[in-house]
Each structure stands twice: as structure tokens, then as C-alpha cells.
Amino acid sequence: MRRRPTLKAYKYRIYPTDAQVVFFAKTFGCCRFVWNRMLDKKLQAYKKKERIPGVIPAEYKKEFSFLKEVDSFALCNVQLQLEKAFKDHFRNRKQFNLPKFKKKRDKQSYTTNNTHNSIRVNFDKGLLYLPKLREGVKIELHRRFDGKIKSVTVSRTNDGKYYASILVETDNRRNKVVEPKSKACRIDVGLEHFATVTNDFGSYKVEHPKYFLKAGERLSRLQKSLSRKQKASKNSEKARLRLARQHAYITSARNDFLHKLSKAIIDENQVVVVEDINVKGLLKTRLAKSVADSGWSKFLTYLKYKAEWYGRTFIQVDRFFPSSKLCHHCGYKNGVLALHDRTWCCPACGETRDRDVNASINLYFVGLGWPKLRLWSRLWWMTVAPTGYLKSHPEQKQEAQPFTVEQSAIWFY
């Protein structure tokens, strides 16, 4: 049976010439100009509680002739992106705010589509051919791809680097599938250690890199240097670039760490169990800087899509599941466990539990029992854990009857 084609993006660093830099700057500026014009017209109708009008970029080309100098597909994609932003807002107002006006100092990008082979890649010469750039842009092709190119997004970061994200239609988006060594794996993220991992071979902790916190002193010094410079001067621009490069280094180092850790976990385990985390809520507390430096949301996103790519099972348990408060040995629930308590002694069995390791082991059992369960009875093993049945009869745990929804609610609350 033939596999259905899927889309995969490949991101590369590009090195445009001076003339190409000018063309990119014009395209970024025109896209930003069209976005702000269309957004202003829509917001005015929205504030007056009128029907939001449909606006197309062609309406502005007669009045502003400079819009004809750039790729027309880039302007069309701006229209599609703005319409999607409004649809997302009306569909879920809590999660998606109204679109905002774009600024010149923000990250700049534009997207163009491949029509009549207008976008091509020459792997031998290392060139990327884009609409209105027939001479080609020098690109660093650190990996090859097979498939039809659908679109390309050219972006410029705050530190002055240019990248091209090539969206390719391919039959297989996996790289190399490795046979898993462990059946299940449970991950418990934290601030003291980045993650506590439990699999078939035991538990181990992954040290927290803390890239942002370690670079705090240097960032503070660069920020002070920028604030002393006269605005719109050359020295101010140099100081801004130094600060932007430091932030870019921190972001790249964090992403590299998260990619390598998530790939290693997916390669080693067939089932990966994580706990849902309220990151938005934690960002409003005094731990906001440490939580933001951790990149938990991005880490879970990497685990989820890589599990889908490589045929693994990804399980995300509800955030209210008391994984840290339950003793994995006897099932006793410690209702008074505070956040600063890193270890606690179980009064039922007398064992001392490490908070992170205990939570990791608890949800490790969830991963082992998942294939036999319905959605509302994932945590069925807890019904027998308080009696010590799970430890004394591990081979019979699949025979236990799951609780109903009402019984589960009584157990948790």
C-alpha cells in the first residue's frame, strides 16, 4: 500500500549578496506594509462592530507602485496569514489574541510558493533559486532531501542572519528508525533537574543546562551598554547586534539540547509518558524566568512529533494526576506535599521518596498499562496499588478491572 505524501520542512542558512539583501529588505518591507494596511482596515470595521471586509493586496498596487517590484506570491501569503489569524481568534479567543501590527525591528520573513518550477535547489553548486532571483542564492545544504518543493520561507533574524525553510512533499519523513531498547519511559520535568527519566532499566536524572540564567551577567552588561548609546547611531546599532547575537546563541544552544535529548528518548523507548504542564500559569509566578529558560513546551512538542514520525506511542497524562504525591510502593497519597519538599517519607510503608523519581516511576506504570485501556480509565492500575497488589503480583496487573468515571473521580478528589 502506497504511503500518503506528507510535508516536511528543511531549514538552511543562506548567504545573499548585497543586491539580494536589498531585494529581501524590499520584500520584507512590502509584506509588512500590506499586513499593516489590511489589518488597520479590518480592525476599524471590527471596532465599529461592522462586518470585517475582505481585502486583497492587488487593491494597493495601483496606489503604491513599489509593491510590483516584489514577488506577488509573498503578498498573497500575507493575506492568507492575516485571514487565518482572524479565524483563529474568533474560534478560540482565550488562546488567540487579535493580530497585531508588525514592526521593522522584529523578525522579518516572507513566504513564496513554487509554481512552474520557480523554486529549485542545485545541490552540486549549493544554490537556491527563488522567484525574481534567477542568479540563485548561496545556501549551506548540510543535508539532502527528496520530493517536490511546495514553498519556501525566507527569514532574517534580529542578529542579521538569513535562513530559508523549504517545505517539501515527501513519502517518508523519517530519518533512521532504531529498534527501541525499553518498552516504556516516563519523563518528569523540573527546575532543579531538567528531567527525571524512568524506563525498564531504572531511573536517571538529566542535568539542567540553564543557558539563559548562566548568561544573565553578560546579557545585563550588553543591555546596559546598549542603553548608554545614542539612539539611531552606528554605535547603538553595533551594541544592538551584540545583544541580539547573545540571545540567538542562547536560543540555538537550548534548541540543540532539546532536539538531541528528545531524539535520544524516542530512539530508546516504545512508549513515552509525560505529564501535562500549565506553562502559561507558571510564567505568571516568581519562577517565570526559570520556567522560560527550561523550554518545557518546546520539549513536549519535539517529543510528540518525533514519536509520530518514528512510530512510537506518546501519552500525555492530565496535569491534576498526583504523580508526586502517590507512593509508588504502596499507593499512599500525601495530600500535604508542598512544592519545596524534594523528598518525603511515606507513613504507610516507611520508605523515603525522592519527589521527581517517585513521580517518574508512577507514570512509568501508566505507560505499561496504556494499550489495554480506554481513554477514561488510563490510570486503572491505581485501583490495586493501595493494597500492595501491584508489587506482589506484577504478572497479574493486566487482569484488574478498571474503575468507572465516577469511581476515578472519588479516588482523585
In this structure, are residues 149 and 114 in contact, taking their beta carbons and an 8 Å threshold?
A: yes
Among 188, 200, 276, 308, the active-site one is: 188
Closest CA to 378 of 355, 356, 410, 405: 405
Q: Look up cell 510564567; give the residue.
A: 283
Whether 356 sits among the annotated catalytic residues: the reply is yes
SS3 392: helix
* 188 catalytic residue (yes or no): yes
Specify whether the CB–CB gap between 325 and 337 falls below 8 A. Answer: yes
Task: Decide: helix, strand or coil at residue 28.
Answer: helix
The distance from CA 281 to its chain's CA centroid, rounded to whole angstroms, is 17
Are 393 and 354 in contact by the 8 Å Cβ rule? The answer is no
User: Long-range contact list for 406-409, CB < 8 A, 24+ apart?
Assistant: 407/383, 408/376, 408/377, 408/379
Query: What 3-state DSSP class applies to 307?
Result: helix
d(Cα 152, Cα 134) in Å, to the nearest integer? 15
| Residue 24 near residue 162, CB atoms below 8 Å | yes
By CB atoms closer than 10 A (0-12, 13-18, 19+), residue 327 is: buried
Annotated catalytic residue, options 71, 268, 293, 356: 356
Of residues 160, 167, 202, 199, the one with CA closest to residue 183: 199
- Catalytic residue of the set 71, 268, 275, 293: 275
Annotation says 106 is catalytic = no
- Rounded Cα distance between 292 and 247, Å, is 13
3-class DSSP state of 129: strand
Strands 133-140 and 6-15: antiparallel
Torsion sign, CA atoms 198, 262, 218, 230: negative
The residues annotated as belonging to the active site are: 188, 275, 356
